[in-house]
Amino acid sequence: MRTEADFAIIGGGIVGLSVAHGLLKQGCSVICIDGSDTDFRASRGNFGLVWVQGKGIKAPFYAAWTQNAARLYPDFVCELSQETGVQINYNQAGGYEYFTDPHTLSQRMDEYKQLKEALNGDYPYEFLSSSQIRAAEPMIGGETIGASFYPNDGHLNPLQLLKALASYCQKKGLSHHLGEELETADKKEGVFRLVTKKGLTISANKVVISAGLGAQKIGPLFGFLGLVSPQRGQILVTEKISPVLNRPSVTIRQVDEGAIQIGDSQEQSGFNDKETQAQMSRIARNAIKVMPKLAQLRLVRAWGSLRVMSPDGLPIYHQSRTLPGAFLITCHSGITLAATHSTNLSLWLTGHKNAPELSEFSEDRFHA
């Protein structure tokens, strides 16, 4: 396997592999090292939504970035599936957020109205009344008083997406070193020299740090603040049933194999990804409020997983000032952003003339 390349990517989760996918398509040579199976890996424990609504309410540039990512998704997934034969089970027929509290619903209506204005009208949401949502989704009832609908929301099988990306990248020449944890880094005469814990030495002209929560430790090696922290989410899975939900919501979706997956916790639990009885009960109670028939289904599985959060929840895309050519890439919606990470973000990394302007996502915002 190659140990010299145009780009070295540190961290082969969904973010690192999406970026690798785009760089390889641009003709760059790429090495990816990915740490240990005992690392926290959000890419293997997430909910699987490609989701726009609710994102960037106070940061329209992020809402626009997310919206663009969702619009790029159909072509991205279609090409990945064709090239690899991996079924990603992507469905983009729109999605809902259900409301049971009039105050929260009216607040959401105001927020979306303001966001739509900030995006010059390009934010095609709708609100559905209680009867409209019950007609569209017969399983919905209980305390539901209405729902928001966004047409480009969707969902997929996130493990299959990860598998397809790895397979595509390896086919296109990625040197994928698994079980290699970056330990030291320096830059001499314009070339980065990276050494792993096991002694693998890699040379690269540019380095992308996409190590998820690992960026806390290795970000500072390249002059980054490394301001990422864990936020736990727990997910419940029911027994498999025949199709009953037409579209996903932000907290409830029916996966391609038939199980209903439920998850809505955002917990500060440090580096602890264990599931807890209290949260599982709360998640189930809330889901039953909008979908009472869920109470009749058996839960068969649950897990906890840690999100990778920046201080304001927005992505960080930043080139190091002390070691130019080193980039920090991190976000809390790596599934949703995968298509734009492959296309637009990879153009930014190569300095392409069509690269987007991304200064609003820089780490500089945390210096103030």
Ligand X SMILES: Cc1cc2nc3c(=O)[nH]c(=O)nc-3n(C[C@H](O)[C@H](O)[C@H](O)COP(=O)(O)OP(=O)(O)OC[C@H]3O[C@@H](n4cnc5c(N)ncnc54)[C@H](O)[C@@H]3O)c2cc1C
Interaction site with ligand X (CB under 6 A): 10-16, 33-35, 39-43, 45-49, 51, 181-182, 210-212, 214, 218, 233, 235, 263, 305-308, 330-336
Which residue's CB is nearer to ligand X, number 31 or number 115?
31
Min dist CB 73 to ligand X, Å, is 11
Query: Are 11 and 34 in contact, with CB atoms under 8 Å apart?
Result: yes
Contact present, 272 and 233 (Cβ < 8 Å): no
Minimum CB distance to ligand X smaller for 38 or for 131 = 38
Tell the residue number behind the tokens 């391609």, with chain if given: 256
Instruction: Between 212 and 325, name the residue whose CB sits nearer to ligand X.
Output: 212
Q: What is the largest CA-CA distance in the chain?
A: 67
Of 117 and 198, which has the nearer Cβ to ligand X? 198
Nearer to ligand X, 218 or 345 (CB): 218
From the CB of 34, what's the least distance to ligand X, in Å?
A: 5
CB of 216 to ligand X, least distance (A): 9
Instruction: Output the six-digit token pair for 101.
Output: 């509290």
Instruction: Between 108 and 155, name the residue whose CB sits nearer to ligand X.
Output: 155
Phi and psi dihedrals of 194, rounded to 5? -115, 135
Q: Least distance to ligand X from the beta carbon of 129, Å?
A: 26
Name the minimum Å distance from CB 234 to ligand X. 7
- Do residues 207 and 268 lie in contact, with contact meaning Cβ atoms separated by under 8 Å? no
Residue 102 or 270 having the CB closest to ligand X: 270
Residue 329 Cβ vs ligand X, minimum distance, rounded to whole Å: 8
Q: State how far the Cα of 211 lies from the Cα of 277, in Å rounded to an integer.
A: 30
What's the closest the beta carbon of residue 19 comes to ligand X, in angstroms?
9
Query: Which is closer to ligand X, CB of 14 or CB of 259?
Result: 14
Residue 204 · residue 7 · CB < 8 Å: yes
State both tokens at 200.
């693998």
Torsion of CA 332, 335, 341, 342, to 10 degrees: 160
Residue 46 or 343 with smaller CB distance to ligand X: 46
CB of 213 to ligand X, least distance (A): 6
Q: How far is the CB of 104 from ligand X (least distance, A)?
A: 20
